[in-house]
Amino acid sequence: MSQGCEHAVEYVYQYLDAELTWTRRVRIRWHLRKCVACDGAYSFETRLKAVIRERGREEPPPELMNRLRALIREEGSGSADS
């Protein structure tokens, strides 16, 4: 288990919203490089945000976001069948 995962995942959302200080950004980038689970979550969020922006829509419904985040967590726990 990687250290700092909880904080990294928590900060990823702020990172995407550009609400972080420079030092925290560096710390997250460092963690994303070492941690596949968080990197996957970050890539997913980035793509999701891009899609939302492209369509010019509001944030997706919270329950959809929760479901997607749960999926990411399952993937990160190493239970993928591939």
- With contact defined as beta carbons under 8 Å apart, do 8 and 14 qualify? no
In angstroms, the CA 79 to CA 13 distance is: 24
Closest C-alpha among 61, 36, 35, 37 to residue 48:
61
Candidates 13-21, 36-44, 55-63, 64-72: pick the segment binding Zn ion (CB under 5 A): 36-44
Question: Does 32 participate in binding Zn ion (rule CB under 5 A)?
Answer: no
Total site size for Zn ion, rule CB under 5 A = 5
Question: For residues 8 and 72, which CB has a smaller minimum distance to Zn ion in the complex?
Answer: 8
Site residues (CB under 5 A) for Zn ion? 2, 5, 8, 35, 38
